[in-house]
Structure 1
Amino acid sequence: MQPIPIRTTVIGSYPFPGWLEFGSQNMDQFGKADIEEMIDDAVSIAIKDQVDAGLDVITDGEQTRLDFNLSFYGFLKGLQPNHDETRKFGPPAHDQRGKHSIVEPLTAPNGLGAVEEFKRLVRLAPEGPTLKASIPGPYTLAGRMIPDGKIYKDRFDVTEALLPFVHDEIAALVEAGCQEITVDEPSMSCYAYKEDTKRFVDIFNRTVAAAVGKSRLSTHLCFGNFKGRPVGYRKLYPMLPDFLDFDVDEIHVEMANREFDEIELLAHFAEKMDVAVGIIDVKNYYIETPEDVVERIKACLKYVPAEKLAVAPDCGLSQTARWAAKKKLSAMCKGAAEMRK
């Protein structure tokens, strides 16, 4: 059970400062020392914003990840960018995110980089907040890879190839002293309505086995967020009852963007694990007030006991402007503090 009631947490990502976006598009102009300084500065800013908001749990803001999946692809051998499969123009949608072709058996000779991110967070963060690392699960990580039909026939084949890499990175995070790890598997929640949910559970539990009972383990289930657009079938009921068998201490559930539809289903999750409810809408520029947060927490408490309830944004904040993210997190923490009283 979580250490404090109505704990305030985040998923993982945080908006880039504008200068980091510029820098990431012009990396050839910087030396290695420049880039390291840039990353340290960006992580320090993300930490400060989260600490100023009053969060109980903080991350590094995923400031080294230029894309949720694709930043990890740089650690993998056997991939080749496939620009022909990516739509370049028109309204934003997930088919504008980069795709990669698989050209040889996948390997990750130097890990996936999450351990280095966590060590930087430890070095830069103040004492007080819990430090959390996040990493995509193998099914979600496979989402922008095109199976070649020979080495890997489909997405599940690719998932099985990636599973040991994610498993080993999680084991390395535990070894590095990481006390809280979130494994992001939004693709599982997006496709629960049409795929074998028991198969998803088996994949997930094998992935996280190294952390069970050693670190506080959570998973994040949402319905996608690319430039404010969801991608999945936005219902919780297809996940039940199978997803209750995830080997996790806490499950993150998107609620605010769905106007708290199916809130009564939170009670099922609370029977088996702590529940981090998304009560801040990262896809909307309405800025929630502390009073809104109090009202939403009261609604959640009808189904989740306070000692098992955490509150969070619906999803990572990378697609939300920083000025809005700061205000939303501050309101969330103020509302949670009021309810704790």
Structure 2
Amino acid sequence: MQPIPIKTTVVGSWPFPSWLEFASENLDKFGPADINEMIEDAVVNAIHDQVSAGLDVITDGEQTRLDFNLSFYGFIKGLQANHEETRKFGPPAHDQRGKHTIIEPLTAPKGLGVVEEFKRLKRLAPEGKILKASIPGPYTLSGRMLPGEIYKDRWEITEALLPIVAKELAALVEAGAKEICIDEPSMSCYAYKEDTKRFVDIFNRTVKGIVGKTRIGTHLCFGNYKGRSVGKKTILPMLPDFLDFTVDELHTEMCVLNFAEVHLLERFAEKMDVAVGVIDVKSYYIETVEDIKERIAKCLKYVPADKLAIAPDCGMSQTARWATKQKIANMCTAANLMR
């Protein structure tokens, strides 16, 4: 397929409609048929918003996920929740999210649910759109797990999760997924202090079974829980090791860096396509078309148009829907004008 110059895409998540926010906090009041209907309606809404904005690549908006990785823990056997240990009040931060202690070797007998999400998206999406599935990678997925007496540390937990994620990726390809994003924000958050070569090895072994069978992307960011970053905001420590990712497209934040490291994208573009965050998901300033055209122009100094995709910095789940729709519509208009 001929590459789309300055392709427009999203990371994965889309804001919940307000009624879904309410329903997700009152699930005990609904029956299984009600919940299935809500899920279908929510995905239809997310698709409609994205298509109306003019995106080239769309997702299901991750409308069935109540948390970036905790939602997957319900599919994984061997975990015991420790929600009573979380901080309940004060400004939002990661210590308000639950952790889970591992009490038996980790398994996912019925998979991680991503295949079902993708099949729903494929059934509901209009013809002609590129459909993207997304799934946390094993290192990021391990982030809220405590080893207990089963595993020694986070690295061992990651190794236990790696075949589970790899199996889900293979099933996604079998289901017809032409584009899959493996989200590994924990790798970019900790690139400044952890073994980046080890990160690359983990990632490449995770995707080994699907190389050449689908378009592989990865999303690297500095965190967006409740609209807050958690990582050290620099992509410099990712170089040069992250250039060895087995990946077709690498997505990185740039708005949160105020484009200070945009020149480093040239290194990535030598090895892979680059998706660049040109929309600030942590701000309610609505970027104008001219703002975004200027940001695209900065990227084009270092990334050829046929290797460049533009996107929001991160998923849109923490940004209000009214703002998301305006921001993404302006992004798509700017991309069309720059083409």
TM over 0.5: yes
1:323 aligns with 2:333: no
Q: How does 1:114-263 map to 2 (within 5 A)?
A: 114-148=114-148, 150-263=149-262
- Count of residue correspondences: 339
1:187 partner letter = S
Q: Which ranges of structure 2 fall in alignment gaps of 5 or more residues?
A: none
The code of the aligned residue for 1:309 comes to: L
Partner secondary structure for residue 133 of structure 2 = strand
Render the CA deviation track for 1:225-281: whole Å, top value 9, x for unaligned.
011110001111100000000000000010012111211100000000000000000
- Number of the residue aligned with 1:300: 299
1:269 equivalent in alignment to 2:278: no
In structure 2, distance between residues paired with 1:132 and 1:331: 21
CA deviation profile, 1:62-95 (whole Å, cap 9, x unmatched): 0000000100000000001102431111111111
Give the distance between the partners of 2:292 and 2:166, measured in 1 at CA: 36
Report the 3-state secondary structure (helix = DSSP H, G, I; strand = E; otherwise coil) of the residue aligned with 2:278: strand
Equivalent-residue separation in structure 2 for 1:333 and 1:44 (angstroms): 20
State the alpha-carbon separation in 1 of the partners of residues 273 and 68 from structure 2: 25
Does the 8 Å CA contact 1:9/1:57 hold for their aligned counterparts? yes
Detail structure 1 runs of 4+ shifted over 3 Å in the superposition.
Answer: none
Q: 1:339 to 1:44 in 2, by over 3 A?
A: same
CA distance in 2, matches of 1:334, 1:49: 15
Written as runs of structure 1 = structure 2, the 5 A alignment for 1:57-96 is 57-96=57-96
1:295 and 1:278 map into 2 onto residues whose CA distance is: 13
Residue 37 of structure 1 aligns to which amino acid in structure 2?
E
TM-score normalised over the length of structure 2: 0.99
1:50 partnered with 2:54: no
> Does the CA-based 8 Å contact 1:82-1:98 persist in structure 2?
yes
The whole-number CA distance in structure 2 between the counterparts of 1:184 and 1:236 is 16
Q: Return the letter of the residue paired with 1:131.
A: L
CA distance in 2, matches of 1:177, 1:210: 15
Indicate the residue corresponding to 1:289 in structure 2: 288
Structure 1 letter corresponding to 2:195: D
SS of equivalent to 1:46: helix
Distance 2:26 2:297 in 1: 47
Q: Which amino acid aligns with 1:119?
A: K
Alignment-derived partner of residue 105 in structure 1: 105
- Work out the CA distance in 1 between the residues paired with 2:180 and 2:12: 10
Flag structure 1 segments of 5+ consecutive residues without an equivalent.
none
Shift of 1:2: 6.8
State the distance in 1 between where 2:33 and 2:330 align: 37
Which amino acid letter does the alignment assign opposite residue 17 of structure 2? P
> Does structure 1 conserve the Cα–Cα contact (< 8 Å) formed by 2:83 and 2:97?
no
Superposed CA RMSD: 0.9
> Is 1:18 aligned to residue 18 of structure 2?
yes
> Offset at 1:28?
1.1
Whole-Å separation in 2 of the counterparts to 1:218 and 1:2: 17
- Distance in 1 between residues matched to 2:332 and 2:261, nearest whole Å: 24
Contact 2:11/2:311 (8 A) holds in 1: yes
SS at match of 1:210: helix
On the 8 A contact 1:79/1:103 being kept in 2, the answer is: yes
Q: Is the 8 A contact 2:173 2:210 kept in 1?
A: yes
Q: CA deviation at 1:21?
A: 1.0
Report percent identity of matched pairs.
75
